Chain A
Amino acid sequence: GNSVTQMEGPVTLSEEAFLTINCTYTATGYPSLFWYVQYPGEGLQLLLKATKADDKGSNKGFEATYRKETTSFHLEKGSVQVSDSAVYFCALRLKAAGNKLTFGGGTRVLVKP
């Protein structure tokens, strides 16, 4: 079946550090890939997405590139801020699966001043 695996965390960083959260997927077909973010006390928000191989999604200084050859969609940010402290979810969606979202387990990121 379809699945998403991401690093568990928590990931603790200092402000201005480089952040990488690994995400790999298994899917029958060519999924669209997403990163969602959940800030404390809030619902999940779409952070960025990519719909085909080699696409790069970007938003708020975050980037992720759809790598079909390694079935990966790693999230990166060059210089994190305290306000980036949140839980990050990687997800995929397949038309053949009725466009239902399949999520990874989430990665908690804590950025210290």
Chain B
Amino acid sequence: NAGVTQTPKFQVLKTGQSMTLQCAQDMNHEYMSWYRQDPGMGLRLIHYSVGAGITDQGEVPNGYNVSRSTTEDFPLRLLSAAPSQTSVYFCASSVDRGENIQYFGAGTRLSVL
């Protein structure tokens, strides 16, 4: 069972570079979300989507873009990377926005120099 798959696992960028973090789920989940994890701060919500074609901002959206063209995929784009975006990024999905279990990917560790 694949579940939630994130690629790449590790990435190093230079300031100003752009990149896309990929997230795919094979459970036909409507709700998908992106979090960042920083030491001592837990996971903070960046963006989320309640279904294909619908996205919304979370707690810390600045510097990130998302789109949801299919149910399966929810990529996170950094248009111009900054050192403050050095973090571990997690993608999650659940059946819907209601009281259902969220399933997490293994994370992408990003360093911006």
What residues of chain A have their CB less than 8 Å away from a CB belonging to chain B? Answer: 4, 8, 32, 36, 41-46, 51, 89, 91, 93, 95, 98-106
Contact = CB atoms under 8 A, between A and B. Distances in A.
Contact of B97 (A8, A41, A99): A99
A102 B100 CA distance: 15
B23 to A, nearest CB: 11
A66 B33 CA distance: 26
A43 B45 contact: no
A8 B6 CA distance: 27
B41 A93 contact: no
A101 B106 contact: no
B90 A105 contact: no
Given A103-B42, A105-B40, A43 B90 contact: yes
Contacts, number: 51
A105 B102 CA distance: 18
Interface of B: 3-4, 6, 35, 37, 39-45, 48, 58, 90, 92, 97-99, 101-107
A45 B101 CA distance: 9
B47 to A, nearest CB: 12
19 contacts: A4-B42, A8-B40, A42-B106, A43-B3, A43-B104, A44-B43, A44-B90, A44-B104, A45-B104, A46-B101, A91-B42, A91-B43, A98-B97, A99-B97, A99-B98, A100-B58, A101-B43, A102-B42, A106-B42
